[in-house]
Amino acid sequence: MSQNNKKSTNETKPKKRGTLKSGILGGVIGGLVVALLGGGYLYTMEPDMPTNSTGIVDKNGKVTTTDVSVNVTSEVTDAVAKVEDSVVSVVNMQEQNTEGFGGIFGSDSDGTNMSEDSSLQTAGEGSGVIYKIDGDTAYVVTNNHVINESDAVEVLMKDGTKVEAEIIGTDIWTDLAVLSIPSENVTKAATFGDSDSLTVGEPAIAIGSPLGTNFASSVTQGIISAKNRSVDTDINGDGVIDWEMTALQTDAAINPGNSGGALINIAGQVIGINSMKISTDTVEGMGFAIPSNDVVSIINQLETEGKVVRPVLGISLLDISQISEQQQASVLKLPKDVTAGVVVGQVQPDSAAEKGGLEQYDVIVKFNGEDVVDTISLRKEIYKTELGKEIEVEYYRNGKLEKTTITMTDTESIT
């Protein structure tokens, strides 16, 4: 990731780079015990605080601090304590070109080549969450864009211990990745809460490494601003929207480097993996996290398969809106009242699409009974279907509406 959160389309692409509580104030004068109820804060102070009308001073009249102890506990501090040891920094290491400096970085003083590891440099930093300990191995979930294009990955624990991580699996579409690390220095694994049961307005706490490892284990607090937000996402960094991610929206501060970190509820359960934010001069407090229920489904597959197995058609896609009206009429021969759909660019040999009879320049307008508006809507419908299921597809060919039945497969394909 390059210390960056994956951005929505309202934000320029990086390397690539997700709680307010009311209270009732009560006080006991005498013992100077003040409790903020509702928020759960408890402050205790000794009664003989050395104060006077000019402030707190020592016997020489110098301003000084007091020896009064303040113990602070709250639902927030309790929640953070349950998770903070499980939140780590994830460092994307990449090989750097050491030529062009007289070879001073390319060989030792005796002229021998340096080790391969010596050319690895930090290319980006993000966050991750340890969610499982299995014998000598612990598993970490992070964002795919955090470790994308890495030559090696390191994990920095809360106590400062740094270990090498192995990439177990990645999924570009959900922007999730699973790493494994030795469990020797792991003390605790986080637990996932039910993101479907969240209530808009309830507390949300983000933990991660904003701006990198120098600010590791930073905690910010806000609320769940919305559920089931559809956020336009540029998957491959070409400036074109490829996907709509379903996400939790929060106003807890999420900054570059928080990607892959935890969004937790007041019970200390992980309810989301922070992934992106909207960052413009006119926008404040709009961060997004992948819901925990989606995360659990994906990481279970990544652990066992190394990837998410999805049905595919085996075609390349192009929105009708990207085709000129002249070409729509002359090449696609579309009726003028057809304004939405997806054009088949290429058909992969032996794919589900080819076996179903789809051809180049067909315009898909319905898939499994659902209207196809654009490539995003078609992809979402494809990925929702079961492998082996027969799907009816409606499309225009040479201006005529036709239908075909396609059996969904998981063959590697263009789409």
Q: Among residues 175, 234, 251, 362, which one is catalytic?
A: 175
Class of residue 172 by CB neighbours under 10 A (exposed 0-12, middle 13-18, buried 19+):
middle
- For 57, the 3-state DSSP assignment is strand
Class of residue 151 by CB neighbours under 10 A (exposed 0-12, middle 13-18, buried 19+):
middle
Of the candidates 81, 36, 76, which has an alpha carbon nearest to the alpha carbon of residue 204?
76
Give the side-chain half-sphere CA count within 13 A for 321: 7
DSSP code at position 321: G
- CA angle at 327 for the pair 322 and 328, rounded to the nearest 5°: 75
Of the candidates 172, 410, 191, 177, which has an alpha carbon nearest to the alpha carbon of residue 299?
177
Respond yes or no: is residue 175 known to be catalytic: yes
Residues 287, 307: contact at Cβ < 8 Å? Answer: no
Q: Among residues 259, 275, 292, 377, which one is catalytic?
A: 259
The b-or-e profile of 365-393 (16+ CB within 10 A means b, else e) is bbbbeeebbbbbbbbbbbeebeeeeebeb
d(CA 124, CA 142) in angstroms, rounded, equals 13
Respond yes or no: is residue 145 known to be catalytic: yes
- CA angle at 149 for the pair 147 and 153, rounded to the nearest 5°: 45
Residues 217, 87: contact at Cβ < 8 Å? Answer: yes
Q: Among residues 2, 8, 89, 145, which one is catalytic?
A: 145
d(CA 104, CA 101) in angstroms, rounded, equals 6
- Supply the residues annotated as catalytic: 145, 175, 259
